[in-house]
Structure 1
Amino acid sequence: MAITPTPLACIVLAHEDPTHVRRLVAALDPFPVFLHCDASTDDDVFEAMTAGLPERVHVLPRMRTGWAKWENVAAEVAGYRAALAQTDATHVALLTGSDYPLADADEISALLTANPGRSFVEAKPLPHPAWGRDGGRSRVRFRHWAWRKHMLRLPVPRRVPRDVVFGGGSQLKVLARHHAQGVVDVFDQRPDLVAFWERVWIGDETFVPSVLLTPDFTPDFADAHAAQPLWWIGWDGTKQKSPPWLGIEDAGRLLERRTSADQSTPYVFARKFSTSRSTDLLDVVDATFGLRTSADDQPVVVAQ
């Protein structure tokens, strides 16, 4: 199998809105994309999302992912595994199907080239102050299940692994190649941790941060990462489980925040976008940053 030379490989976890997913794929040109579509998504939506994609896009085997599911982590790791095997990327980014770049490939490549071996990821040891009164420790201490966007918790404490530094942070991240490989290695070599994390609450916010923060797994992480996020997320101050959808009315604050004084590294991605709510805003982003200029951005008409 040919190895693709690139500074960045992108994993995209998607479950709906094939029109936006295809727009996102085009905006990420020329980076290789490893696309996962939730197995719960209807087959016609999956077909619309994947038919006729360029050769740089690799469709991953489908898993039944969903809100707060462990399978989100499994799909993420499958993306790392494929990206490491099929490219020589120095970095691997994890995006969702509702994300979008705020920079062209040259700017993103320059940022990564200037930071060899360095990850851009939020990974804070628990207790995490933003995660409630106990700082998120109950996420790990008790067994959980997700049901229709509700948390089900078995109120019986369990033993936790003693050789892990538990941490948390955003699902969205850009990992240096050797850090992505380290995550895959722990996933493969520690089935006990995989079994434990299947019942951790929202494992995609804790598994990778915990692997990275554990010195036995990732000894160089403290000196080889930037806690500065690369995503601008349009939180509006209201209490909700997910960020609001962005529209043209958000153009000013999105573009202003991209290079704000308190952001030492410009945001190069943002969320949350959809075809129905965000098309006008995405047109502004494309025009501002010169995105979607290649032949990849050709519509494929598939019945949805």
Structure 2
Amino acid sequence: MAISPAVPACIVLAHEDPAHVRRLVEALDPFPVFLHCDARTPETVFRAMTDGLPDRVRLLPRIRTGWARWENVAAEVSGYRAALAETDASHVAVLTGSDYPLANPAEITALLEAHREESFISVNPLPFAPWGRDGGISRIRFRHWAWRKHMLRLPVPRRVPANVSFAGGSQLKVLARRHAAAVVDTVDQRPDLVRFWQRTWVADETFVPSVLNSPSLTPGFADEHVSQPLWWIGWDGTARKSPPWLTVADAGQLLERRTDADVEVQHLFARKFSTDRSGDLLDVVDAAFGLRQGAATGSASARRDAAAVVAP
């Protein structure tokens, strides 16, 4: 699947809402998509999500992912591995199944063309003040397990690996090809780090940032990234574990964030959206940025089937 150098391969990590996932895939046309669906997702939902997808979509081996688990990183890395092997993409974007673009393919390509060798990711060295009193150090220092969206911590400090510059950041990112390859190489060549991060709290917020932030693992990264997120997320200031769903009431704020002339790098994506709550807003976004113009050529029956499925 050879493609133009300044085009991203897109990893989509999904577990529900097949209708929105299909809409997202359409909005990402013509970019190649590597879709992971949680192994816990019911078969009916999985089939509604994946039946009849275009040839530019590859289905990744299904892993049992979940809140705060290492397996989220494993799914992400499987996407990097496949994208690097099957495309010539200059960048790899990591999205969830509740994301959506705020830019058309030409705009996305133009930004990547201007930053061919650079990643877009905020890498925050630990301790990081917004992560609590210890700045997130406890995530690394102790062994953790996730159980029904609760944290279980073994209160015995453990030895941390040497020559790793620990950092945190969002799972949502756009990595330059070389940086995505560095993450895959670390997983393949450093099983000790994989074992360590299997018991690290919310590993998908620290593993990749730490690999990239460590000169021993990714030399030169400090001068090869733009420390600005490309996602607009509708946090509303309330205490919550995940951001609120966006609705048409958020249209003004959303479009303003995308078109603000004072922002050096415009947001290319936003979250989070759902079919039930965000349909009208997504129509506004499509019209504003010229998305899904070829959607009518897709499988209308498959989209209807997806819309009829409601994940438990």
TM over 0.5: yes
Number of residue equivalences: 303
Contact 2:37–2:62 at 8 Å: present in 1 too? yes
* Amino acid in the other structure paired with 1:3: A
The range that moved more, 251-260 or 158-167, is: 251-260
1:238 aligns with 2:252: no
SS at match of 1:69: coil
Contact 1:4–1:86 at 8 Å: present in 2 too? no
Contact 1:8–1:93 at 8 Å: present in 2 too? yes
| Alignment partner, residue 223 of structure 2 | 223
- In the aligned structure 1, how far is the partner of 2:11 from the partner of 2:153? 30
Please show how residues 78-227 of structure 1 align to structure 2 within 5 Å.
78-227=78-227
**Ranges of 4+ aligned residues in structure 1 off by more than 4 Å:** none
**Aligned-pair Cα RMSD in Å:** 1.1
The range that moved more, 259-268 or 89-98, is: 259-268
| Alignment partner, residue 75 of structure 2 | 75
Gaps of 5+ in 1: none
Q: Report the TM-score, using the length of structure 2 for normalisation.
A: 0.95
The range that moved more, 14-23 or 122-131, is: 122-131
Shift of residue 122, structure 1, vs aligned partner: 1.1
Shift of residue 133, structure 1, vs aligned partner: 0.4
User: CA offsets per residue over residues 240-270 of structure 1, 9 Å max, x none?
Assistant: 0100000000001011111335521000000
1:3 aligns with 2:31: no
* Amino acid in the other structure paired with 1:146: A
User: CA offsets per residue over residues 196-244 of structure 1, 9 Å max, x none?
Assistant: 0000000000000000000011111111000111000000010101000
Shift of residue 116, structure 1, vs aligned partner: 1.1
* Amino acid in the other structure paired with 2:161: P
- Shift of the 127–262 alpha-carbon distance from structure 1 to 2, 3 Å rule, reads farther
Which structure is higher in helix share?
2
SS at match of 1:160: coil
Contact 1:122–1:227 at 8 Å: present in 2 too? yes
| Alignment partner, residue 24 of structure 1 | 24
* Amino acid in the other structure paired with 1:31: F
1:34 aligns with 2:16: no
SS at match of 1:130: helix
User: CA offsets per residue over residues 31-71 of structure 1, 9 Å max, x none?
Assistant: 00000000000000000000000000000000000111100
Shift of residue 163, structure 1, vs aligned partner: 1.3
- In the aligned structure 1, how far is the partner of 2:106 from the partner of 2:261? 22
Contact 2:80–2:180 at 8 Å: present in 1 too? yes
User: CA offsets per residue over residues 147-196 of structure 1, 9 Å max, x none?
Assistant: 11111111111000011000000110000000000000001000000000
